[in-house]
Amino acid sequence: MAAVQDMARLQRVLFELEREFLRTATTLICRVGEPELKYLLCQHVWESAGHARFLRERGREMAGFGAGEDVRPEIRRLFTEAILPESADTALAGFYGSIKPALLAAYQHYLSATHHLADWPSRKLVEEFIGDEERHAREIARFLPDTPAAREWRQHLDTIIAASGGLLSERTRIPLASDFAWVSDHRTYRHPATCNRGRYPTCSSVFGYDADEVPIVRPWLLDPATDARVIRIMVYVWLMMEMDAVDYLATVFFDTPAAPFDLHHDLARHLWDESRHSAFGFRQLPKLGVDLMTVEHSLDLYTILVQMPPHERYAMMTMEFEAGSFPTKAAVMDRIRELNDFEADTLLAFDRNDEQNHVRYGHRWLPEMMSLFGETRPVDEFVKATQSRFKEMAERFGGITPHGLPAERRLTGNKIKALVGLV
Ligand SMILES: [Fe+2]
Ligand SMILES: [Fe+2]
């Protein structure tokens, strides 16, 4: 059985690498500013979650994969080091210029080391993953910096990987020099107090009541007298703002190192869904004549939630914001149907379907997340207490992001009316 055990041991390492990738690469998401880069990272994280799950499934068919899901300390140490640069661009360069290429080399090694017929089921998976990794490298290339700091950081991570002879120990080891300095020896990672939106203007909230101040005028959403074309633009702004969910949900992975893999798997799916919802708005608004540089991004939910522990963040998200959004969204969907805009109907229908899954994830995982933090109250009681804590936190950490644009230059309810030709 030695041959099976050897290959199962490699698959186990690959599983841990992918697992740890999603726990740590998610910290890049709130730190990089470009929306298309955030979306791409969410997609790669979701694909990594898929790789990890298939590896675990196949691995468990083989003797020697091991029963638990823990990540060994050397792997955890490498990935924990990788998130430490203060510049998100430098950290990105490390993940994609050092760790991902080493992961691709590891998969290639697996393919060359295993028997093509005996281990056919693993081989098919690994071939697929190699294709994914090559595509990830192509997709991310335009976002990667080639600065001296980025090169130096890649070198730093390459040195760590070389010390174990590659991620699967497939090469000769090159021991670390005696003066090698781990950044993690003197720095720990903390999520930023506010998230990055790059060149786009920001604000605290896009919801309100004054049509000369905000783009989403709450009473208009449900008022039968509102023109459906206005509602369509408002709902695309709303969808685009789900970028806040992308940014704060991304913080939960790193903060739950003891979570079962399936929890992170579903969180990765949730994250990718939110990034797609945000992209619905980000990509459709320009087609309707909206200049994205006039749309402020709301940061309140991030700035408030990042001050709360992860299980409270997740409780607010699934039990409050998502569970509470259905009635308004249903009314909006009815209005949009008047426009015979098949694409808008489709996007909203998928958004709704995804959101129903998210609430289901919440029911499944919130109790587990609570137990990770020693929370023993019944779920209902905990959710109620968290709602009032959120209100308190909102008083301190909400409303702190000033308008990036003066009212005359930003997209508002009345500007949307003008855009569709109503004024
Ligand atoms: Fe969403
Ligand atoms: Fe959602």
**Residue 193 lies inside a defined structural domain of this protein:** no
DSSP 93-140: HHIIIIIHHHHHHHHHHHHHHS-TTTTHHHHHHHHHHHHHHHHHHHHH
- The angle subtended at Cα 43 by Cα 39 and Cα 49, nearest 5°, is 145
Q: How far is the CA of 209 from the centre of ligand 1 (A)?
A: 23
- Tell me the per-residue pLDDT of 195-208, one tens digit each, with 9 for 90 and over: 999 999 999 999 99
Q: How far is the CA of 102 from the centre of ligand 2 (A)?
A: 33
Q: How far is the CA of 362 from the centre of ligand 1 (A)?
A: 13
- Tell me the per-residue pLDDT of 123-136, one tens digit each, with 9 for 90 and over: 999 999 999 999 99
**Between residues 230 and 326, which one has the greater pLDDT?**
230
- Tell me the per-residue pLDDT of 170-180, one tens digit each, with 9 for 90 and over: 999 999 999 99
Once rounded to an integer, what is the mean pLDDT over residues 299-314? 98
Q: How far is the CA of 1 from the centre of ligand 2 (A)?
A: 46
Residue 16: which domain range?
2-185
Q: What is the pLDDT of residue 231?
A: 97
CB 248 within 8 A of CB 216: no
- Tell me the per-residue pLDDT of 208-244, one tens digit each, with 9 for 90 and over: 999 999 999 999 999 999 999 999 999 999 999 999 9
Q: How far is the CA of 69 from the centre of ligand 2 (A)?
A: 27
Question: Which one of the ligands is nearest to 314 CA?
Answer: 2
CATH number of the domain that 98 lies in?
1.20.1260.10
Q: What is the pLDDT of residue 1?
A: 67
DSSP 291-335: -GGGSPEE-HHHHHHTTS-HHHHHHIIIIIIIGGGHHHHHHHHHH
Q: How far is the CA of 369 from the centre of ligand 1 (A)?
A: 21
**Residue 192 lies inside a defined structural domain of this protein:** no
Question: Which one of the ligands is nearest to 322 CA?
Answer: 2
Number of domains within the chain: 2
pLDDT score of 323 more than 90: no
CB 17 within 8 A of CB 77: no
Shared-domain flag, residues 243 and 299: yes
Shared-domain flag, residues 215 and 145: no
Question: Which one of the ligands is nearest to 360 CA?
Answer: 2
**Between residues 208 and 1, which one has the greater pLDDT?**
208
Q: How far is the CA of 353 from the centre of ligand 1 (A)?
A: 10
Shared-domain flag, residues 278 and 384: yes
What is d(CA 361, CA 265) in angstroms, rounded to the nearest whole number?
Answer: 11
Beta-carbon-side half-sphere exposure of residue 32 (alpha carbons within 13 Å):
26
pLDDT score of 414 more than 90: yes
Once rounded to an integer, what is the mean pLDDT over residues 349-363? 95
Q: How far is the CA of 233 from the centre of ligand 1 (A)?
A: 16
